Amino acid sequence: MSKPPEVTGILETVLYYAPGQGPVMERFYLELMGFRRIGGGSEGGHPFLFLRTGGSVLLLFDREASLSKQSPPHHGAAGPGHVCFLVPEADYEEWKTHLRTRDIPIEEEASWPRGGRSFYFRDPAGNTLEMANRDFWPE
């Protein structure tokens, strides 16, 4: 069997929210998380929001509307999603303080066998968000 062509990274990640949660999700990611809006709206009744942080893109979609869309192919998720954001080591503790002062509870913190730490919290749609102070996955 031949080796597949190279994949160089993940361009975008999608999280979903319930109908009507778009405005609160937008405020959370723009104001609390500091992401930059690069697109969004409602195309044919399908609400969406495109955000950028660093070199990554986060897409936020209305869960139900995404399932009925035909192009691009429909997609969605049942239950909360998960995404891990990478933050500079120097900002790791500051992020915890930033969230706590805005009444966002930290659900758990972990120290990883390969080094590094991360902590978990939720967005308004219940998605599990993680902040890591370094890449702790094998190369």
CATH number at residue 100: 3.10.180.10
State the total domains in the chain. Answer: 2
Q: What is the pLDDT of residues 76-100, one digit of tens each?
A: 777 899 999 999 999 999 999 999 9
Residues 6+ apart with CB under 8 A from 78: none
For residue 131, give both structure tokens. 């902040």
Domain that holds residue 45: 1-79
pLDDT of residue 74: 67
Given a cut of 70, whether residue 113 has pLDDT beyond it is: yes
Do both 6 and 64 map to the same domain? Answer: yes
Whether 72 and 84 map to the same domain: the answer is no
C-alpha torsion 62→65→68→74, nearest 10 = -30
Residues 63 and 94 in one domain: no
Can you give the pTM of this predicted structure?
0.89
Q: Which of 79, 109, 129 is the last residue of a domain?
A: 79
Among 58, 79, 100, the domain-final residue is 79
Are 63 and 90 in the same domain?
A: no
pLDDT > 90: what percent of the chain? 68
Question: DSSP per residue over 24-90, as a string?
Answer: HHHHIIIIIS--EEEEEEEETTEEEEEEEETTEEEEEEEHHHHHH--SSPP---SS--EEEEE--GG
Give me the mean pLDDT over the 20-39 stretch: 94
Choose one of 39, 64, 79: the last residue of a domain.
Answer: 79
- In this structure, the answer to whether residues 124 and 75 fall within a common structural domain is no
Assess whether pLDDT exceeds 60 at residue 58.
yes
- Both 25 and 39 in one domain: the answer is yes
Does residue 108 share a domain with residue 75? Answer: no
Residues 45 and 106 reside in one and the same domain: no
3-7, 9-13, 56-60, 82-86: which has the minimum mean pLDDT? 3-7
Q: Are residues 75 and 85 in the same domain?
A: no
Kindly report the average pLDDT of the chain as a whole number. Answer: 89
Q: Is the pLDDT of residue 109 over 60?
A: yes
